[in-house]
Amino acid sequence: MSNEPQFLSFKGLKSYSPEDGWGQVNDIVQNHVRSQDRRKTPSPSSPSAPDKVPTLTEMPDQQAQHSQGSAQMFDPLISELFDQLRSPPADELTQTWRTIAAEVNLLTQRMALHRELTDRLEQLNSDIGGLRSTILHHLQEVQHAADQQLSSARLRAEVSALAQSKLSAKLKDSL
């Protein structure tokens, strides 16, 4: 392990050093690595690493340029891993999970529609109950008015019958 500072390289990230001033972090790391390489002489048994190792934050075309520019690959397994990470898997499980995700989305939509329709049904049932009670109230008012009219008609009939009997009795007496 080296005691060098480790940097995350993000596009546009800048750093200040008193010797060089403001610069890109990648440039500063590269200068630091080059100065370390100049100070050290590589041993013949140690494999040499490329100047720029691709990171996950770089764009694929940048990684391709860096990997094409280096004479030898740092590690073929790492490059294969990066290739697998960049390309989406195309196996049966992936398709099955996509189908499951689509069905879960559809189920969620249908459940939301079910809740909405249930709420609307409850509102309609409430409206229907209100209309029933209003209609029953109006029917009771109509029944009460009809009962009053019937009472008035009976009273008029009784008064009319009483008047007829009194008038006929007076007419019989006067004859």
CA dist., res. 93 & res. 145, Å (int): 76
In degrees rounded to 5, what are phi and psi of residue 54? -65, 140
The residues, ordered by sequence, that sit 6+ positions from 33 with a Cβ below 8 Å of its Cβ are 51
Sign of the four-CA dihedral 155, 158, 163, 166: negative
Task: Look up the pTM and report it.
Answer: 0.38
State the virtual CA torsion across 99, 103, 108, 114 in degrees, nearest 10: 170
57 and 10 Cβ atoms separated by less than 8 Å = yes
| pLDDT of the chain, 175 residues: tens digit per residue | 445 455 555 556 666 677 777 766 666 556 665 666 665 554 444 445 455 555 555 555 544 555 444 444 567 778 777 777 777 666 778 788 888 889 999 999 999 999 999 999 999 999 999 999 999 999 999 999 999 999 999 999 999 999 999 999 988 888 7
Q: Which run of H or of E encompasses 16?
A: strand 14-17
> Domain coordinates of the chain in residue numbers?
14-86, 92-175
